[in-house]
Structure 1
């Protein structure tokens, strides 16, 4: 059975539009590091509280990427404050309805 791996990042940003520009510019870096797909969500009362939910080839690749020194600079440029990371293995999924 193939284990699906995901990363959930929750962080506050100074300005969503500025953050999204930097996020989009880093797409190739994330893809090359092992990110397969992503979703960006925001808090319904605070558009600058961002959730980045992504699927990865492996958690090892995700952990290596998110500890990459260059990301500190990218986060600063994007206006990211104190991101929280959760590295996740899928246990179940389904569609209701």
Structure 2
């Protein structure tokens, strides 16, 4: 499984979340399989989006598309950092 870790600050979490939720269908069609949304402990507008994807290529194509650049602007996203990850191991303790 491949993963994407995105860290970004948003102007307003609730406004961002509405845009994020509306984009669920296009994210799924692009290859996103699951996600988690987390926030920094002392900053509710510093968001971490961790998601599983069908491939790194699909994720890069999606996140670098002009459509997503526009969606991020509408959602009030400030300077996102994208980290593309490939799973080496997992377990449950």
Give TM-score scaled by structure 1 length.
0.94
1:14 aligns with 2:8: no
Q: Answer with 1 or 2: which has the greater Rg.
A: 1
Deviation at 1:94, TM superposition (A): 1.1
Aligned residue for 1:92, secondary structure, equals coil
1:26 counterpart residue number: 23
RMSD: 0.5
Give TM-score scaled by structure 2 length.
0.98
1:81 counterpart residue number: 78
Runs of 4+ in 1 over 6 A off after TM superposition: none
1:93 counterpart residue number: 90
1:41 counterpart residue number: 38
2:89 & 2:45 partners in 1: Cα distance? 30
Count residues in correspondence.
93
Q: 2:65 aligns with which of 49, 65, 68?
A: 68
Deviation at 1:72, TM superposition (A): 1.3
Q: 2:52 aligns with which of 52, 55, 58?
A: 55
